[in-house]
Chains A and B, each alone.
Chain A
Amino acid sequence: MARVWLFPANIDTDQIVPGRYAPYMTSEAELGKYPFIEYRPEFAKTVQPGDLIVAGSNFGCGSSREYAPRALVAVGIAAIIAPSFSRIFFRNALNLGLPLFECDLQGILSDGQQVTYDNTSYIITTSEGAVTSLPQPPAWLQETWAEGGIVQYYRRHGRLPVGANR
């Protein structure tokens, strides 16, 4: 089972990892201790690999710091589901292989709810049996996530995974 972590709109990168917890101030190995350390201290202490973040619009706004999504990868967040993401956060997450879904589940899932998330069919099933389908990602995106993000994809294939296909 995965826990749903609900967040409001306009979560900024300072709320995700404050600047003074940047890896160059601490260390990369400790990064998993810091997501939401001031904004929501219980998060890093109780989050489990496979948990989901469900948020309001403009998630990840503010600075271009890549260690914000990297900290969420470090604790094993399986996906972030929000109506919209700040564009630099969106790119950073894709480069790191952290799945983002543009869809509004704020009124459908609640904070602390236990669900199962199938990361091949992109279906969320609550413990009561209610089923929600996330928007189906295109094939190139599924492939990119499977390879651990665009950076790893490039390392393996020597090219970017997306094409100018209409």
Chain B
Amino acid sequence: MDTSMHHPSAGQTLSELILSHAAGQQVHAGDLVIVPVDRCMTHDSLTPEIIDALEKNLGVNRIYDPERVAVVMDHVAPAASVQTANAQVRTRRWVAQQGIRHFYDVGAGVCHQVLIEERLVLPGQVAIGSDSHATSYGAIGAFGTGMGTGDLALILASGRTWLRVPETIRVQVVGRFRKNVSPKDISLYLCGMLGLDGATYQAVEFHGVDWLSLDGREVLAGMSTEIGAKVGIVPPSGEIASRYNVPEWLRVQPGAHYVRTIEVDLNTLGSQVAVPPEVDHIAPASELGDVKVDQVFVGTCTNGRLEDLHILAELLKGHKLAAGVRLLVIPASHRILQAAAEDGTLSILLAAGATLGTPGCGPCIGRHMGVIGADEVCLSTANRNFRGRMGDPNARIYLASPEVAAATALRGSISDPANL
């Protein structure tokens, strides 16, 4: 089809379908809509500021519908200072006062992982979080996106938000992963190809991954925010279709209009590494040269799930960390931690020399539990490597898959897991 001849009746993208359903009328890319928000999520880091915006700027003391709200303590949990502890006390009091039932305290895990595990976001819903990685909800076919303080306060007050229906970039995945290559490599490859603003205001739809697990889909959806995308949606097929009741209307439509299609060929894709200080500075792991590391961090909403811990354990089993390397493992949720304890994964990691942290964001945002110092190098499975993100501005953060993390922990310098 000649895309310049696109007509609204030709078909809709998943974003258009979800926002049409929410708005109660057929809408298309470029339209402005006001839609009810099915799930609104705030976390410990911004909830106090949102309470201020709600009470002082909007003059609202009762939120619209506590049942649609979830609050998760994950950014600095457990509290690392008197200041954060006091802010958390205030948040807990507010949660109780508003009657918010979906409250997840210290140790429950990273907000996005918790919301998906607790089935607080469902396929076809609109879910807004006070966190840019709320695009993660696209993993189950929801329209998930992050917003700032004022928007969250407006949603808490009104139960609604305004959105511009995004244009969609289609990512067509071809083939299957080569040995020790995984979803993070697709995401980093896309960052390198499209750049930090390559999908600004737009949606990304991932096709050809019906075989991919929920864990893998969460990586693709969550990382979409790193190319500026509003949402990253994986059609709710395969594992998602078997775990959820996917609404009839939420199906990929053949005539949908995509502004661009990008093919990613897994038959040739190798391990990718984001080189500091930008997520779109991408190099193949095999071409990095000798980069010695001080700390390896496996965790976060990007790569701290059970599948990631299994990969790490499989590659570390029977081995010890390279001399001088610290391996910090922070499961993305309490449920993941418990599962990894029960199936023996943790024993393998501990035997290899890993250090375990409380489920939550860990040192991803440089506030606690593994902050790095000047001139230190960290290989992280997280999602951002901006200057100063994990601590000292002169520390350097490289981003990669759990497989690269395992190879790096064993060798002491950033290594291509293809050679393991």
A interface with B by C-beta (< 8 Å): 10, 12, 14, 19, 24, 57-58, 61-66, 84-88, 90-92, 95-96, 149-152, 154-155, 159-160, 162-166
Contact with A along B197-215 (1 / 0, CB 8 A): 1001100000000000000
Give every chain B residue within 8 A of A58 (Cβ-Cβ): 196-197, 200, 228
Whether A162 contacts B34 in the complex (CB less than 8 A), given A66-B148, A88-B132, comes out as yes
User: Is B147 located at the chain interface by the 8 A CB criterion?
Assistant: yes
Verify A88–B147 contact, CB threshold 8 A. yes
Q: A148 to nearest B CB, angstroms?
A: 10
- Cβ–Cβ contact B147 & A14, under 8 A: no
Is A86 within 8 A of B200, CB to CB?
Answer: yes
Cβ A61 vs Cβ B58 within 8 A: no
**CB within 8 A of A154: which of B58, B130, B147, B228?**
B58
* A83 nearest CB neighbor, chain B only: B197
* Interface pair A62/B200, CB less than 8 Å apart: no
Q: Is the CB–CB distance between B197 and A61 below 8 Å?
A: yes
Do A164 and B23 contact each other (CB < 8 Å), given the known contacts A64-B132, A151-B58? yes
Of A10, A163, A164, most B-chain CB atoms within 10 Å:
A164
Q: Is the CB of B200 within 8 A of A95?
A: no
Please measure, in the bound complex, the distance between the C-alpha atom of A63 and the C-alpha atom of B226, giving whole angstroms: 11
Set A62, A150, A164: member contacting B150, Cβ < 8 A: A150
Residue of B nearest to A25 (CB): B83
CB neighbours of A88 from chain B (8 A):
132, 146-148
| Given known contacts A87-B228, A154-B157, A163-B32, A10 and B150 CB-to-CB distance under 8 angstroms | no
A150 x B228 contact (CB < 8 A): no
Q: Render B147-179 as a binary contact track against A, CB cut-off 8 A, 1 for contact.
A: 111110110011011100000000000000000
B34 close to A164 (CB less than 8 A): yes
What is the distance, in angstroms, from B406's C-beta to the closest C-beta of chain A? 30
Among B149, B154, B386, point to the contact of A66 (Cβ < 8 A): B149
Q: Is B25 an interface residue (CB 8 A)?
A: yes
Is A163 touching B158 in the complex (CB atoms < 8 A)? Answer: no
Give the chain A neighbours of B130 by CB distance below 8 A: 64
Cα distance, A36 to B266, chains bound together (Å):
43
Are the CB atoms of B228 and A86 closer together than 8 Å? yes
Contact of A151 among B83, B150, B386 (CB under 8 A): B150
Interface contact B154-A154, CB-CB below 8 Å: yes
By the criterion CB–CB under 8 Å, are A84 and B200 in contact?
yes
Whether B150 contacts A163 by the Cβ 8 Å rule is no
Chain A residues whose CB sits within 8 angstroms of the CB of B31 once the complex forms: 164-166
Q: How many angstroms between the C-alpha atoms of A33 and B27 in the bound complex?
A: 43
A84 proximity list for chain B (CB < 8 A): 197, 200-201
User: Taking A58-B228, A84-B200 as contacts, is the C-beta distance between A64 and B146 under 8 angstroms?
Assistant: yes
Residues of B within 8 A of A (CB): 23, 25, 27-28, 31-34, 46, 49, 53, 57-59, 83, 130-132, 146-151, 153-154, 157-158, 160-162, 196-197, 200-201, 228, 230, 386-388
Residues of A within 8 A of B150 (CB): 66, 91-92, 95-96, 149-151
Q: Are A151 and B57 in contact (CB under 8 A)?
A: yes
Instruction: Assess whether A91 is in contact with B147, with CB atoms less than 8 Å apart.
Output: yes
Interface-central residue, A88, A150, A163, by most chain B CB under 10 Å = A88
- What A residues does B25 contact at CB under 8 A? 164
Q: Are B148 and A162 in touch, CB under 8 angstroms? A: no
Known pairs A58-B200, A86-B197. 17 more at Cβ < 8 A? A10-B197, A24-B83, A61-B197, A64-B149, A84-B200, A86-B228, A91-B147, A91-B148, A95-B148, A96-B150, A149-B150, A151-B53, A155-B57, A159-B158, A163-B32, A166-B27, A166-B31
**What CA separation (Å) do A149 and B132 show in the bound complex?**
22
Q: What are 14 A-B contacts defined by CB distance under 8 Å?
A: A14-B387, A58-B228, A61-B197, A61-B228, A64-B146, A64-B147, A86-B197, A86-B200, A87-B230, A90-B201, A92-B148, A95-B150, A151-B150, A165-B32
- From B34, B46, B153, contact of A163 by CB (8 A): B34
Give chain A nearest CB distance to B112 CB in angstroms: 14
Chain B residues contacting A66 (CB-CB under 8 Å) are 49, 148-150
B158 near A154 with CB under 8 A, answer yes
Q: List B contacts of A162 (CB < 8 A).
A: 32, 34, 162
* Least Cβ–Cβ distance between A13 and chain B, in angstroms: 10
Among A12, A64, A87, A155, the residue within 8 A (CB) of B59 is A155
Is there contact, CB below 8 Å, between B154 and A64? no
Contact of B148 among A64, A149, A154, A164 (CB under 8 A): A64
Cα–Cα, bound, A19→B393 (Å) = 12
Residue of B146, B147, B161 with most chain A CB atoms under a 10 A cut-off: B147
Contact in complex: B154, A91 (CB < 8 Å): no
Question: What B residues does A92 contact at CB under 8 A?
Answer: 148-151
Closest Cβ–Cβ distance, residue B234 to chain A (whole Å): 20
| Docked-complex contact B131 and A155, CB < 8 angstroms | no
A62–B386 touching, CB < 8 Å = yes
Contacts of A86 in B (CB 8 A): 197, 200, 228
Shortest A91–chain B CB gap in Å is: 6
A164 touches B149 (CB 8 A): no
C-alpha spacing A92/B146, complex, angstroms: 12
Tell me the minimal C-beta distance from B52 to chain A in angstroms. 10
Interchain CA distance A49-B7 in the complex, whole Å: 46
